[in-house]
Amino acid sequence: GAVVSQHPSWVICKSGTSVKIECRSLDFQATTMFWYRQFPKQSLMLMATSNEGSKATYEQGVEKDKFLINHASLTLSTLTVTSAHPEDSSFYICSARMGMAAFFGQGTRLTVV
With CB under 8 A as the contact rule, which of the stretches 17-25, 45-53, 61-69, 74-82 interacts with other proteins?
45-53
Task: Give the burial class of 28: count Cβ atoms within 10 A of its Cβ; 0-12 exposed, 13-18 middle, 19 or more buried.
Answer: middle
Out of 13, 22, 28, 32, the only residue in the binding site for other proteins (CB under 8 A) is 32
**CB-wise, 72 or 102, nearer to other proteins?**
102
| Binding flag, residue 113, other proteins (CB under 8 A) | no
Give the DSSP per-residue string, 73-110.
ETTEEEEEE-S--GGG-EEEEEEEEETTEEEE---EEE
| Binding flag, residue 97, other proteins (CB under 8 A) | yes
Phi, psi of 40 (to 5 degrees): -50, 130
Phi, psi of 112 (to 5 degrees): -105, 125
Site string for other proteins, 58-77 (x = CB under 8 A): --------------------
Positions that interact with other proteins (CB under 8 A): 6, 32, 34, 36, 41-46, 49, 57, 93, 95, 97, 100-107, 109
